[in-house]
Amino acid sequence: MTLFDWTGYLGFPNMRIVRMVKTCKLFIDGQWTNSSDGKTFPAVNPFNQETWATVPAATEADVDAAIAAARRAYETKWRHTTGVERATLLNRLANLIEENAEPMSVLETTDNGKVIRETRSQMLFAARLFRFFAGYADKIYGSVIPLDQPQIVDYAVREPYGVIAVITAWNSPISLLSNKLPAALAAGNCVVVKPSEHASVTTLEICKLVEKAGFPPGVINVVTGAGDVGRWLVASKGVDKISFTGSPTVGREIAATAGRNLRPVTLELGGKSPNIIFADADLDKAVIGALAGIFGATGQTCIAGSRLLVQRPVYQQVVESLADRAGKIVMGDPRDPATEMGTAANEPQFNRIMEFIKAARNDGARLVTGGEPAREGALAKGLFIKPTIFAEVNNQMRVAREEIFGPVLSIIPFEEEDEAVTMGNDTEYGLACGVWTQNLSRAMRMIRSMRTGVVWVNTYRMVSAQAPFGGMKNSGFGRERGEQGLLEFTVSKNVMIDFSDEKRDPFAIKV
């Protein structure tokens, strides 16, 4: 039994749709409430351009109320819970997310146009992450530290920060939230979440599961709205740490504001990731990896392999194979399990992608396939862009330098390994990299040479709860997932205990 009401079938095999949310509310201190000034904004389905829900636009007073609720919950309840108690609640929430994966995935797909096969997978992975961090909740160990002074015991413990501001992007709301929320909660923090105004509904809906799981009021709060809501949240001195996923432009603003308040931040920002195919690679596998790397999620992912570097001897073969396979990608209603690629998530992003395609043509890149909106039949009202591939791209072209966040692949030839390294690292970003080769020595050299937070070898876009994720350079700093993702939400406290009877000189340092 789920928490959602079914209205029947969409007509797709084994596919049901939930009754769409007509009115959403803020979730503050365990209560559902309207914005204090009553203002709302529409949630628009990018498949048909219809408004399908209304979302409250939080005021500064609402943000302050959410932060205050989180602080009260932290001081009076959450910081006093044991790891076992926190783990129990996190596991309950994981079970509820898994039980409601189907209706939640429909909501997510309706909100941002990502295909149902991916949003459902993301819901199940979210449950996995909640269980993973639940397992850590009672295992946040400290360490005993041997000192030069034998009659002093020294140990270090890790404690929660207190109140965490979590800000997520529109491309994968629940997936991004699940990289942060369970780790913050397991560590003993309370949280105020601000999702993107372009995809807020599922983040609010998950609070129904939070209620059912039995979390104390105020431990998890959600405020929605545009950029001003995020700015109020980040600028508040009632917040102890900020975790943000989004663009480098906004990340810089957040880091600057946090710096003025001396608040730590974790930033998971953009990427312009090189996917590098050597001539000795398994080309069938590499081509599939290249397709998934850029056209999965309609290219709207920070780890998109948007720069495909291909060694000259196999360059033309790879270009032709990619063009053939890209032309067969199925576009359609993202809620249909047969659909392989969905829409741009919103109209501003659609326009941005089309501007990049125009710029690539003007810069002299050769259009191999795509390059225009898809308007045929059932696609007529949607924000669809055909899978687009440019060949003979120069690494200095705008299409190869800037993050597009769309289904646009730039294929760049290279001659030797050193050139691939230089070209792959010649970017302001450093999030991910793919290497395709059957030469183990080359793979190990590439892993060591690439300046990215993630290196995939003979695979791409693979994720795991245990594996830390994050970038270098303008792709941000800090890590999510894995043990490192948990430690991001803790601060170290050192303790010294002198058990000697010695009377020490208070003005001397004992060494």
Domain span at 217: 18-269+475-493
Q: Would you give the DSSP letter of residue 240?
A: S
> How deeply is 501 buried, as exposed, middle or buried, from its count of CB atoms within 10 A (0-12, 13-18, 19+)?
exposed
Question: What per-residue confidence (pLDDT) applies to 389?
Answer: 98
Question: What per-residue confidence (pLDDT) applies to 511?
Answer: 62
Q: Are residues 239 and 316 in the same domain?
A: no
- In a domain? residue 383: yes
Split into its structural domains, the chain has a count of 2
Can you say whether the dihedral through the CA atoms of 109, 304, 374, 317 is positive or negative? Answer: negative
Residue found by looking up tokens 């020294």 in the block: 154
Hey, is 225 helix, strand or coil?
coil
Tens-binned pLDDT, residue by residue, of the chain (511 aa): 333 333 333 434 444 444 444 599 999 999 999 999 999 999 999 999 999 999 999 999 999 999 999 999 999 999 999 999 999 999 999 999 999 999 999 999 999 999 999 999 999 999 999 999 999 999 999 999 999 999 999 999 999 999 999 999 999 999 999 999 999 999 999 999 999 999 999 999 999 999 999 999 999 999 999 999 999 999 999 999 999 999 999 999 999 999 999 999 999 999 999 999 999 999 999 999 999 999 999 999 999 999 999 999 999 999 999 999 999 999 999 999 999 999 999 999 999 999 999 999 999 999 999 999 999 999 999 999 999 999 999 999 999 999 999 999 999 999 999 999 999 999 999 999 999 999 999 999 999 999 999 999 999 999 999 999 999 999 999 999 999 999 999 999 999 999 998 877 767 766 6
d(CA 99, CA 13): 19
Q: Are residues 314 and 283 in the same domain?
A: yes
Quote the radius of gyration of the chain (alpha carbons, Å).
24
Q: Are residues 218 and 350 in the same domain?
A: no
CATH number for position 83: 3.40.605.10
- In a domain? residue 9: no
Q: Are residues 279 and 217 in the same domain?
A: no
CA 28 from centre of chain: 23
- Stated as kind and residue range, the H or E segment containing 145 is strand 143-145
Question: What per-residue confidence (pLDDT) applies to 22?
Answer: 56
Q: Which two three-digit tokens encode residue 41?
A: 């904004």
Q: Are residues 453 and 480 in the same domain?
A: no
| 418: number of Cβ within 10 Å | 11
Q: Are residues 241 and 352 in the same domain?
A: no
Q: For the segment 106-133, what is each residue's pLDDT rounded down to a tens digit?
A: 999 999 999 999 999 999 999 999 999 9
d(CA 269, CA 252): 10
Question: What per-residue confidence (pLDDT) applies to 203?
Answer: 98
Q: List, by residue number, the catalytic residues.
A: 268, 302
Question: What per-residue confidence (pLDDT) applies to 139?
Answer: 97
Q: Are residues 382 and 481 in the same domain?
A: no
Question: What per-residue confidence (pLDDT) applies to 19?
Answer: 47
Q: Render 465-478 in DSSP notation, one character per residue.
A: TTS-B--EETTEES
Question: What per-residue confidence (pLDDT) applies to 6?
Answer: 32
- In a domain? residue 466: no
Q: Are residues 185 and 281 in the same domain?
A: no
Contacts of 277 (CB under 8 A, 6+ apart): 283, 286, 290, 308, 309, 310, 311, 314, 318, 436
- In a domain? residue 151: yes
Asked if 450 contacts 421 with a C-beta cutoff of 8 angstroms, the reply is yes
d(CA 428, CA 432): 12
d(CA 191, CA 221): 6
Q: Are residues 292 and 417 in the same domain?
A: yes
Q: Are residues 242 and 351 in the same domain?
A: no
